[in-house]
């Protein structure tokens, strides 16, 4: 084993020794070897240039221990909830009995113990995100999570929520991994909720893996909230799409601390389609990093990315988006756009859109802008009697809603709109 250099990495090595024999030994060993080679990322790592995790994570929090007490968890929408709390899947807090036919679920621990080849192969996901050290660390230290299999042709009418919370009163670290596999032609709506129930500075590393068979479709809404100034959250999404498969995704990030959401998607079949939109509501010292890699491997694929960052106080936003078009992936249609709205002199936005195109018959483009509220629009609204703060809120709300236009679920769109409105209300009244 390669000797890791820093004290933090030595602590993580002790975590691995604790987890190495808890199922999937080969997967864990390969992942740990990859992490040992890469180490904790710092600004010299190109994909982490704007987020110095090695400094932020100089003292890894102890691994979380299971909490077994009954809790009343917040619920903001009508969904079928599956709860992972403090690194452990909690059937007693989940709506397992209400899951419809065509949906099979088990804990990650159970799946690792069972060791079915197709599940283990999907959990490894070696084809995408292979060079990211924090994703490798997640696989090496994974504690628990859920594995969901949706049968071919199934149409799941009610949203399934994957809720991951921390509840400890002291700092702790969690490593959770969820896998959702949709059979051919299956359709489902997923809600990914990542939050904290206490003010402890948790360190969370979660991964959601999606495997979409031909002509499957998933609508995914991710809500990242909570946390305190010293908290760290790394949330990875890996999606593998076969021919004709579709993913339509939106993410809302708010709260405090260091948050990085990284997306690795491979369109591995003809006519696959991917939409990844998102909005960040930044205040205080929030550091919100969205890093995205869309890999077009086959012809006639389509991808769209629209991100909006609204940054106040001393918050920092990062958008790194890369679209790769492989040789032979002709007729690819890709468009990527990032816009940022700076509400204070201290707020910072870092934009880095990229295209890597190795085919000649494609239509791809990207754009990035950064600015402030339009003075003419503010004057117009003020002239009609709106107070300054309310006029600003109206313009900000419209800016954020642009990223939600692709959402088709009216209930989820209303829930996200309420979160934006609540953030704006706090800004008006502070």
DSSP string, 41-65: --TTSGGGTT--HHHHTSSPPPBP-
pLDDT of 393 over the 80 cut: yes
Whole-angstrom Cα distance, residue 430 to residue 427? 6
Length of the chain: 430
Q: Which residues contact 152 (CB under 8 A, 6 or more apart)?
A: 183, 184, 185, 186, 213
As a whole number of Å, the end-to-end CA separation of the chain is 53
Looking at residue 6, its pLDDT comes to 85
Q: Which of 9-13, 115-119, 213-217 has the lowest mean pLDDT?
A: 115-119
Provide the token pair at 15.
């975590």
Q: Is 16 left (phi over 0), alpha (psi -120 to 50) or beta?
A: alpha
pLDDT digit string, tens, across residues 345-373: 999 999 999 999 999 999 999 999 999 99
Quick one: tokens of 77?
């929408």
Contact 310, 339 (CB under 8 A): no
Q: What's the pLDDT score for residue 429?
A: 83
d(CA 275, CA 7) in angstroms, rounded, equals 40
**pLDDT at residue 70 greater than cutoff 70:** no
Q: Is 318 within 8 Å of 347 (Cβ atoms)?
A: no
d(Cα 87, Cα 172) in Å, to the nearest integer?
A: 10
**Going by C-beta distance under 8 Å and a sequence separation of 6 or more, which residues neighbour residue 115?**
23, 24
Dist CA 273 CA 270 (whole Å):
9
For residues 352 and 319, what is the distance between their CA atoms, to the nearest angstrom?
A: 6
Q: In whole angstroms, give the CA distance from residue 28 to residue 34.
A: 10
In whole angstroms, give the CA distance from residue 176 to residue 146: 9
Q: Residue 74 above 80 pLDDT?
A: no
Mean pLDDT in the chain?
92
**CA 96/CA 126 separation, integer angstroms:** 30
CA distances from 425 to 127, 340, 392 (A): 44, 20, 11
What is the CB-side half-sphere exposure of residue 288 using CA atoms within 13 A?
33
Share of the chain above pLDDT 70, in %: 97
Residue 1 has a pLDDT of 44
Maximal CA-CA distance, the chain? 69
Separation between Cα atoms, residue 23 and residue 177, nearest integer Å: 13
Average pLDDT over residues 61-67: 87
Query: What Rg, from alpha-carbon coordinates, does the chain have?
Result: 21
Q: Are 140 and 31 in contact (CB under 8 A)?
A: yes
Output the pTM of the full model: 0.95
* Beta bridge partner(s), residue 351: 319
Q: Identify the top-confidence range among 298-312, 384-398, 407-421.
A: 298-312
pLDDT of 2: 46
The span from the CA of 181 to the CA of 292, in Å, is 21
What does the pLDDT read at residue 99? 95
What is the pLDDT at residue 363? 93
Who contacts 335 (Cβ-Cβ below 8 Å, separation ≥6)? 303, 304, 305, 364, 365, 366
pLDDT-based confidence at residue 228 (cuts at 50, 70, 90): confident
pLDDT digits 0-9 by tens, 202-212: 999 999 999 99
Mean pLDDT of 403-417: 88
């Amino acid at each position: 084993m390669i000797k890791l250099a820093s004290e933090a990495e030595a602590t993580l090595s002790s975590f691995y020794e604790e987890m190495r024999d808890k199922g999937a030994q080969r997967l864990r060993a390969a992942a740990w070897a990859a992490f040992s080679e890469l180490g904790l990322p710092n600004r010299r790592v190109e994909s982490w240039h704007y987020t110095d995790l090695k400094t932020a994570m100089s003292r890894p929090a102890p691994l979380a221990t299971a909490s077994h007490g009954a809790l009343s968890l917040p619920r903001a929408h009508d969904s079928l909830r599956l709860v992972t709390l403090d690194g452990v899947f909690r059937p007693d807090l989940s709506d397992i009995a209400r899951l419809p036919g065509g949906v099979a679920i088990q804990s990650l621990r159970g799946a690792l113990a069972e060791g079915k080849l197709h599940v283990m192969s999907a959990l490894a996901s070696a084809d995408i995100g292979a060079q990211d050290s924090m994703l490798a660390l997640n696989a090496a230290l994974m504690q628990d999570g859920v594995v969901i299999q949706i049968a071919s042709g199934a149409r799941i009418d009610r949203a399934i929520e994957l809720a991951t919370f921390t509840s400890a009163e002291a700092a702790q670290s969690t490593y959770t991994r969820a896998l959702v596999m949709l059979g051919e032609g299956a359709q489902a709506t997923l809600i990914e909720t990542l939050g904290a129930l206490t003010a402890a500075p948790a360190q969370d590393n979660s991964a959601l893996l999606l495997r979409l068979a031909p002509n499957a479709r998933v609508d995914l809404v991710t809500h990242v909230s909570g946390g305190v100034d010293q908290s760290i959250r790394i949330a990875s999404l890996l999606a593998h799409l076969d021919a004709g498969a579709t993913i339509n995704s939106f993410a809302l990030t708010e709260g405090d601390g260091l948050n990085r959401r990284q997306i690795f998607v491979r369109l591995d079949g003809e006519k696959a389609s991917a939409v990844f939109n998102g909005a960040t509501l930044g205040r205080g010292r929030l550091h919100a990093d969205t890093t995205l890699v869309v890999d077009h491997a086959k012809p006639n694929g389509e991808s769209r990315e629209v991100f909006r960052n609204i940054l106040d106080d001393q918050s920092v936003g990062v958008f790194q988006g890369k679209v790769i078009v492989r040789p032979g992936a002709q007729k690819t249609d890709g468009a990527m756009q990032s816009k940022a709205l700076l509400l204070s002199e201290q707020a910072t936005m870092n934009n880095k859109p990229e295209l890597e195109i190795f085919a000649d018959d494609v239509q791809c483009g990207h754009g990035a802008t950064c600015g402030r509220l339009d003075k003419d629009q503010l004057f117009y609204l003020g002239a009609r009697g709106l107070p300054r703060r309310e006029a600003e809120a109206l313009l900000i709300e419209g800016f954020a809603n642009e990223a939600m236009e692709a959402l088709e679920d009216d209930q989820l769109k209303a829930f996200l709109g309420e979160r934006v409105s609540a953030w704006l209300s706090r800004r008006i009244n502070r």
